[in-house]
Amino acid sequence: MSADTPLAPPDLSHIAPREQAEILSQALPYIRKFHGKTLVIKYGGNAMTDPALQQDFAEDVVLLKLVGMNPVVVHGGGPQIDEALNRVGKKGTFVQGMRVTDDETMEVVEWVLAGQVQQDIVGLINHAGGKAVGLTGRDGGLIRARKLRMRDRENPEAEIDVGQVGEVASIDPSVVKALQDDQFIPVISPIGFGEDNASFNINADVVAGKLAEVLRAEKLLLLTNIPGVMNKKGELLTDLTAHEIDEMFADGTISGGMLPKISSALDAAKSGVNSVHIVDGRIPHAILLEVLTEQAFGTMIRSH
C-alpha cells in the first residue's frame, strides 16, 4: 500500500444508521469542551508494537486534530531499544524503573528513538491523513536536561549513577506551539541536551508530564500495557487522589516501571493539568474512547 492510498473506512454495516448517528452525537459535548485545547499523549507499550493498534492510534490522533483539538505525542521505545541493544551484543539494565545508559547505550537510544521509532510514528500519522513533524529535545531548544541524581530507595543517603539518564531542567515550548498553530502534530522523542551539548535519555512519561505542565494541557494521557493502577488485590482503581497515590508508593503497591509513570502523572495533576489518565493502550481506539466518551479505560489521577 502506498503512502497516498486512503485508508479504508471501518465496516459499520452491523450498526444501524440511527445508532451510528447516536454515537456521533454523543461525542459532540466533548468536541465542544476540548476544542482548541492541548492534549499530551504518551505513546508506548502494545499500542506501539501491534500493527492494528498502531493504525488505531494514528487515526485517533488525526481525528482529534481535525475536530479542533491539539494533540502532542511523546513516544517511548523501550522494546525497540532492547532489540537494538541485543543486536550489538548489549543487555539493557534497569534500576528503580530507569534504564542505565552508558555512552554506547546512549548512541543506540538516539538512533532508535530519534530515527526508527519517531519516523515510524510520523509516517503512521501522515498516512492516516494528518501532518506530523518529528522533534527531539534539541530542536528549537525544546528540552534542556541535566544528569539525573537518583537516590537509592533502600538507602536515601546513597546516590545511584545511571549514566546519561537525564531529568528535565527546562522546556521551551515555542517550537511545539508554532507547529500547532500551523496545523501540524508534533511527535517528540524524549532526548534532552545538557550544558556541554551532551545528550540525555529521559523517561518518556517524565517528558510527557513536564510538557503537559508547560503547555497548560487540558489532558495528559499515558498509554500503558496494563488496565490502569491496580490495588494489592489486582483490582482496577479508576479514580485516585494525590494522597492515595502517596500511600501506594509508601506501601509498595506501586513499584518498578510504574514508578516514573505515576510520579509524572501526579506532578502534572498537581501543576495544573486538568486531568491525567493512565490509559490501557491495548484497547482499540483507547484515546478516542477516553476523550470523546464517558467510558473510562484506565485510572484518572486528581491532585486532591
Q: Could you tell me where the DSSP H helices lie in 12-167?
A: 17-34, 46-49, 51-66, 78-87, 103-110, 118-127
Cell numbers at residue 61, please?
A: 490522533
Phi-psi map region of 248: left, alpha, beta (phi>0 left; psi -120 to 50 alpha)? alpha
Q: Is 201 annotated as a binding residue?
A: yes
Q: Give me the residues paired with residue 167 across strands.
A: 146
Cell numbers at residue 284, please?
A: 482499540
Report how far residue 96's alpha carbon sits from residue 232's, in angstroms, rounded to the nearest whole number: 19
| Kind of pairing between the strands at 70-75 and 150-151 | unpaired
Please answer whether residues 283 and 226 qualify as being in contact, where contact means their C-beta atoms are separated by less than 8 angstroms: no
Secondary structure of residue 303 in the 3-state scheme: coil
Report how far residue 217's alpha carbon sits from residue 72's, in angstroms, rounded to the nearest whole number: 10
Q: Is 78 annotated as a binding residue?
A: yes
Q: Is 77 annotated as a binding residue?
A: yes
Report how far residue 281's alpha carbon sits from residue 290's, in angstroms, rounded to the nearest whole number: 11
Report how far residue 54's alpha carbon sits from residue 217's, in angstroms, rounded to the nearest whole number: 24
| CB environment 275-295: b (16+ within 10 A), e (fewer) | ebbbbbbbbebbbbbbbbeee
Annotated binding site: 77-78, 99, 201
The annotated binding site for substrate is made up of: 77-78, 99, 201
